[in-house]
């Protein structure tokens, strides 16, 4: 009996040792994550998977949304195939650790660009350009007669925990001296449940998320988003800080989407545009952008025609927006601040020279 026990014990210990040493990570020299992605031939992209319009796992098991298309654009530029993405659905508290520990290459998950997250002394990330200008809002039942923050005095507000949302809520209400009770849930689905069951007078989240949640209500027209904006939430993709090659590649892929919209280059006409530029040597700026001249891509460690690869795969920024958040979609968020700068919005790309 004792001998059997001992044998089992030894077996278990040896097995455990093998497991642990197998998991012990290698100390690699500092190579850019971009090289790693190219070597692997696949991008590990962190998304939410639960926000319609941004990243949502459809019934067919396919991820779709604006955040997902950013992943796809990156994969098209990095490894030449937008389908070579492995998505990792992450909760808000998991996301930074997943990025820092190397579990994912790139985070494209409704993440607000803030000082603490960007800085070396904080989460130590590098953010790319803003892909969606959002702001926190409050959703209330229209019949409740709540028109401004003051009407919420002493009321319960449903909020998802583990995001800047909670802090913004407190900052705003504390500054205005309005008392309230936060009812905190782990994810948006439960926030919606609590709100619809009447536990709270209002629910708060980024306006994009409120709009996307409302699209699933039985009676969306009976709920209004208050005009008060509790925060500015510039949502941007991010990679680990201190890796300029990877950060630059991410940044200029997003900027290429915006530049392509400015130039009217779409998924449908990109090949015609390339032909036209190849035939016409006087189109210098367009030739540089499309990678015919100038070798801009190789400066980033990408193929020279990375812009063409990206636009072929996802279309330009405007096309991505319309596909997931446009008026024809169930989420339907007016483009507002996310229009091009030339149309009065905030989206602009620095020169591709």
Partner 1 sequence: MRRRSLLLQVGVAALLLALLALLVNNLAVNLLRTGLGLDFGWLGRPSGFALAESALPYSPSDSYLWALTIGWLNSLKVIAAGLVLATLLGVAAGAARSSSNRLLRSLAGGYVAVIRQVPLLLQLLFWYFVAFLGLPETPIGGLIQLSNQGISMLGMPLSVEFCAVLTGLTVFTGASIAEIVRGGVNAVPRGQWEAFRSLGLSEGLGLRRIVLPQALPAILPALTSQYLNLAKNSTLAIAVGYADLYAVSDTTITQTGRAIEGFLLLLISFLLLNLLISGGMAGINATVLGRMRRSR
Chain positions contacting partner 1, by CB under 8 A: 2-3, 6, 9-10, 13-14, 16-17, 20-21, 24-25, 27, 92-94, 96-97, 100-102, 116-117, 120, 122-124, 156, 158, 161-164, 166-167, 169-171, 174, 180-186, 190, 193-194, 197-199, 242
d(CA 141, CA 266): 40
Backbone angles phi, psi at 49, to 5 degrees: 85, 0
Strand order across the 43-47 sheet: 85-89, 43-47, 106-107, 238-240, 125-127
CA distance 277 to 107: 34
| Nearest-approach distance from CB 13 to partner 1, in angstroms | 5
- Of 119 and 276, the one with the shorter C-beta distance to partner 1 is 119
Q: Which is nearer to partner 1, 120 or 328 (CB)?
A: 120
Judged by CB, which is closer to partner 1: 32, or 170? 170
By the 8 A CB rule, do 298 and 304 touch? yes
Q: At its nearest, how many Å lie between partner 1 and the CB of residue 285?
A: 40
Question: In a 3-state reduction of DSSP, which class is residue 6?
Answer: helix
CA 34 to chain centre: 19
Q: How far is the CB of 300 from partner 1 (least distance, A)?
A: 24
- Cα–Cα distances in Å, from 343 out to 125, 207, 289? 31, 22, 22
Measured CA to CA, the distance from residue 325 to residue 206 in angstroms comes to 14
CB of 147 to partner 1, least distance (A): 22
The length of the chain is: 353
Q: Which is nearer to partner 1, 51 or 349 (CB)?
A: 51
Task: Tell me whether residue 163 or residue 338 sits nearer to partner 1 (CB atom).
Answer: 163
* Four-CA torsion 81, 33, 253, 211, nearest 10 degrees: 90
CB of 339 to partner 1, least distance (A): 31
Q: Which is nearer to partner 1, 202 or 274 (CB)?
A: 202
Closest alpha carbon to 111 in 163, 158, 70, 56: 163
Nearest to partner 1 of 69, 134 (CB atom): 134
For residue 35, give Cα distances in angstroms to 27, 38, 39, 107, 328.
Answer: 16, 5, 6, 17, 39
Q: How far is the CB of 22 from partner 1 (least distance, A)?
A: 12
Residue among 97 and 148 whose Cβ is closer to partner 1: 97
**To the nearest whole angstrom, how small is the minimum distance from the Cβ of residue 82 to partner 1?**
29
Q: In angstroms, what is the minimal distance from the CB of 197 to partner 1?
A: 4
DSSP 101-163: TTS-SEE-SS-B--HHHHSTTTT-EEE---SEEE-EEEEEEGGG---SGGGGTT-EEEEESSS
């Amino acid at each position: 009996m004792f001998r059997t026990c001992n044998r089992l014990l030894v077996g278990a210990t040896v097995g455990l040792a093998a497991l642990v040493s197998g998991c012990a990570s290698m100390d690699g020299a500092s190579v850019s994550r971009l090289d790693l992605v190219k070597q692997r031939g696949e991008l590990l992209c962190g998304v939410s998977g639960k926000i319609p319009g941004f990243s949502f796992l459809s019934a067919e098991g396919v991820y779709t949304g604006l955040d997902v298309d950013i992943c796809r654009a990156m994969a098209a530029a990095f490894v030449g195939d937008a389908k070579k993405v492995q998505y990792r659905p992450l909760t808000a508290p998991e996301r930074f650790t997943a990025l820092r520990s190397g579990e994912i290459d790139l985070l494209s998950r409704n993440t607000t660009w803030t000082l603490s997250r960007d800085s070396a002394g904080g989460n130590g990330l590098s953010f790319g350009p803003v892909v969606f200008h959002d702001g926190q809002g409050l959703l209330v039942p229209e019949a409740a007669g709540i028109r401004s923050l003051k009407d919420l005095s002493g009321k319960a507000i449903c909020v998802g925990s583990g995001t800047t949302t909670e802090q913004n809520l407190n900052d705003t209400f504390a500054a205005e001296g309005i008392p309230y009770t936060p009812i905190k849930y782990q994810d948006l689905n439960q926030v919606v449940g609590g709100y619809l069951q009447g536990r709270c007078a209002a629910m708060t989240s980024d306006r994009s998320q409120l709009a996307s949640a409302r699209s699933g209500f039985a009676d969306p027209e009976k709920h209004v988003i208050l005009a008060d904006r509790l925060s500015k939430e510039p949502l941007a993709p991010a990679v680990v800080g201190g890796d300029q090659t990877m950060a630059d590649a991410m940044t200029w892929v997003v900027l290429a989407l915006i530049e392509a919209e400015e130039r009217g280059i779409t998924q449908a006409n990109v090949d015609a545009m390339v032909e036209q530029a190849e035939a016409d040597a006087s189109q210098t700026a367009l030739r540089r952008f499309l990678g015919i001249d100038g070798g801009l891509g190789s400066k980033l460690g990408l193929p020279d025609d990375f812009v063409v690869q990206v636009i072929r795969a996802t279309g330009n920024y405007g096309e991505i927006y319309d596909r997931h958040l446009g008026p024809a979609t169930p989420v339907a968020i007016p483009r507002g601040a996310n229009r091009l700068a030339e149309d009065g919005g905030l989206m602009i790309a620095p020169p591709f020279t």
